[in-house]
Amino acid sequence: MRTIAIVFVAACGLGFAGAPEGKAVFEAKCQPCHGASGEGKAAIAKMFKVEMHPLGSKEVQSKTDAEFKKIITMGNGKMKPVSGVSGKQMDDLIAYVRTLKQ
């Protein structure tokens, strides 16, 4: 009985790996520009004179985790590198961005 409970908890943990923790990182580091659900803030798009694709869009979600990491750490076009996200925080953040998929 006890083993079953442990396996169950472990399986749930895996399914949602990092997403709740990633939400906090997203809110602090990405939401100001990308909006609560990654839709992209019109004012930011206007300021940078770019079209911001919703992070949940097929186009953005088709990027690999490695590409996300690169965009976040090195920047992408008009987006500047985001500092202070690394290691587990980065993995949690990417797990959260995956949940925005439309």
Residues in contact with ligand HEC by the rule CB under 6 A: 29-30, 32-34, 44, 48, 50, 52-53, 55, 60, 68, 71-72, 76-79, 82, 85, 93, 97
Query: Which CB sits closer to ligand HEC, 53 or 91?
Result: 53
* Token reading at 3: 């083993």
Closest approach of ligand HEC to the CB of residue 8, in Å: 31
Neighbours of 92 (CB within 10 A): 21
Please, is 57 exposed, middle or buried when counting C-beta atoms within 10 Å of its C-beta (0-12, 13-18, 19+)? middle
For the bound state, the minimum distance from the C-beta of residue 47 to ligand HEC, rounded and expressed in Å, comes to: 8
Residue 33 CB, nearest distance to ligand HEC (Å)? 3
User: What is the SS3 assignment for 6?
Assistant: helix
